Copies of this chain bind each other. A is one copy, B any other.
Amino acid sequence: MKRYDHVQMGVDYYPEHWDESMWEPDIKLMKETGVKVVRVAEFAWSRLEPTEGNYQFEWLDRALDLFHQYDLQVVMGTPTATPPRWLTTKFPDVLPVFANGEIFHPGVRGHRCYNSTSLREYGSRIILRLAERYSEHPAVIGWQTDNEFGMLDCHCDACNTAFRAWVQAKYGTLAEVNAEWGTVVWSGEYSDWNELTVPLGGSPHQNPSFLLDFQRFQWDSVVAFQTAQINILRMICPEHFITHNFHSYPQRLDMYAVGADLDVAAFDYYPNTSPTKQETTPYSGALSLDVTRGIKRQNFWIMEQLSGSPGCWMPMWRTPYPGLIRAYAWQAIARGADTVVHFRWRSATSGAEQFWHGLIDHSNVPGRRLAEFTQLCHEVNGLSGKLQGTMLKNEVAILHSHEEKAALDIQPQAEGFDYYENIKQIHRAVTKLGMGCDVIDLRQPLDGYKVVIAPNLYLLDEEIVRNLEDFALAGGTLLITNRSGVKNINNIAVMQPLPGQLSYCTGVEVLEYDPIGVETHVIVDAEGNPYECTQWCDILRPVVAQPIAWYGDDFYRGTPAVTVNSFGKGQVYYFGTHAEEQYWSVLLENLAKEKGLLCFAGLPNGVQASVRTGDQGSFLFLLNLSRESVIVPLPREYSSLLDNKIRSGELQLEPYGVEVLEI
């Protein structure tokens, strides 16, 4: 299989958007800029098959030949995210249907029901032909499936039938469905399979077990849709790798199942350019990158990277500050991206995304952003050899789950309670300490980690519990938070004191709880330091655990809020409340000392550190993702990969300054 582990830069290019006379000048300039790879064809169905069966690939042949001539490699997109008008007109079953029966008409993109047989058939046809034509093309190295999978929650007849079959396959009988979903409440019992449908219009507040399974069905539909494409590509193009470009998190998507079929995951990365978001963007971006790396627990691609101000259905964002484009590309690499493809080479002059700016403006006059990108390409190309094959080796992991998120979205727990935001807060505390952190699916093996943080384990089954217990028994430090152990995996409340199946390892019992929501309460640690808490207060009875923080408010003032339990060779923390970030920072810093975790103390706000390690050494990235110049104290001397000079003492990083040090 062709390699996808080069550390290199790319661009997204749509030859069909431009007069053919512009292609060669464009490609020549890409080459000069330092670009190595180009993504094409993801939305080109109407140009590749203008009418049914009328395949027109010659223009793409010419484009690919030009790329090859200039030594650029190409990733092809399968065009199924934009079914052409002849297809949707002839086969309206391609179009998704909303719960109220309205149709999602064409005109934008993503107008495709994953269960549409017409789409499956016509999509497979064109993918097969594209694969056959380009399997041997010397420029082509891989494929991107569709574009930015997401859920529209289609309610069409095909989905209805497929959902019924899915439920039947899972549960066998209606008696089992009624029992596992608890449909007896509100007389919702099914007496005939015919009565079981996808959610239809009316009140959205339906049975939560049913709603969760409907989400699982939709997730599986996406996976099945992609699998059909992958089967063709693997058969015809065994030398090509396959990826998919995930986008902004959290998505209602089983990214782990979608990723399982891929060779490499990809992410579309658009950090917010606004100075008003400067406090949060570097950290939510870092989380997105760590989430993407966690999809396959390996390095990944950026398939679309910010190149200018985005703008489309929403007003345009601020233009990227000088250095921002470069710094965020380095952030992606620092956190495990190998190839970084910028979206897009030049801004489109037509269509709804005209103002989603590329590296070059509509004027086609290269400007400040292309100059910055050119510098970036040259830097990356210079370091590519050393960085290739390096990876992040982290001692800390945060567990993430699309299922926990789905269940917690179906039934909001308390005002302000947000599963992904809770992860974000903890991840930010970790990142500010310069501590590397993986973000992985809840069901992954935990070998090799010293600390595992598992927020809001709302749904549980025995497999998850055993995995966590085994980790702690073997000496790991496990941190669990409130709203854990509440439900079985079918979204039914357990009939035992919380944290349910985690009571054993945590050594605490939740006597009752108080959903304080957006109110601010206080907890106090053993030294008497107060910290704010919100969202939720479990009133705890430590069975064998030791309290380490106590509530400072309300009728449960003085009772334990956070506990720690010795469990086997390890420890299990339980957070009865949602503590402010500072509490996490202090606790994690102490843990770092206790466990000897790698971290980088004293990072200024907006500055991030991470390390890639491989056969050729370890490389420390120090990135200033802010508009202010900062000083980072270096603990010792390092050699800079950017200019091969020695850095030591107080390292000054300019606004959006980047440093890569050999360690």
Residues of A bordering B, CB below 8 Å:
14, 16-17, 43-47, 50-51, 79, 82-86, 89, 95, 100-111, 181-192, 194-195, 199-210, 275-276, 309, 311-319, 321-322, 347-355, 361-365, 367-369, 411-415, 417, 492-498, 511-517, 519, 554-555
Partner of A512, one of B207, B361, B513, B554: B361
Q: Is the CB of A104 within 8 A of B202?
A: yes
Which of B44, B102, B369, B515 touches A309 (beta carbons < 8 Å)? B515
Assess whether A108 is in contact with B494, with CB atoms less than 8 Å apart: no
| A84 B191 Cβ-Cβ under 8 A | yes
Whether the Cβ atoms of B315 and A207 lie closer than 8 Å is: no
Listed from nearest, the 4 A-B pairs whose CB atoms lie closest are A182-B350, A185-B351, A82-B187, A46-B187
Given A349-B495, A352-B186, A496-B363, A203-B319 contact (CB < 8 Å) = no
Given the complex of chains A and B, what is the CA–CA distance between A313 and B204 in angstroms?
9
Q: Are A511 and B367 in contact (CB under 8 A)?
A: yes
Q: A322 to B556: give the CA distance in the assembly, Å.
A: 10
Residue of B nearest to A494 (CB): B362
Residue A100 contacts which of B83, B102, B210, B492 (CB distance < 8 angstroms)? B102
Q: Are A106 and B319 also in contact (CB < 8 A) when A350-B185, A493-B349 are?
A: no
A-B contact pairs, 26 of them (CB 8 A): A17-B182, A43-B185, A46-B183, A51-B191, A84-B187, A84-B191, A85-B188, A86-B191, A89-B192, A89-B195, A104-B202, A107-B207, A109-B186, A183-B350, A185-B352, A207-B352, A309-B514, A309-B515, A311-B411, A315-B415, A317-B515, A318-B516, A318-B517, A347-B493, A363-B496, A363-B497
Residues in B whose Cβ lies below 8 Å from that of A186: 43, 82, 108-109, 351-352
Answer whether A362 and B185 are a contact pair too, CB < 8 Å, given A199-B107, A316-B414: no
With A50-B189, A189-B47, A321-B555 in contact, is A316–B413 under 8 Å at CB?
yes
In the complex, the answer to whether A512 meets B367 with C-beta atoms within 8 Å is yes
Report the minimum CB–CB distance from A167 to chain B (whole Å). Answer: 14
Contact B46 A188 (CB under 8 A): yes
Query: Given the interface contacts A46-B189, A185-B350, A187-B83, does A103 sit within 8 Å of B201 by beta carbon?
Result: yes
Are the CB atoms of A319 and B514 closer together than 8 Å? yes
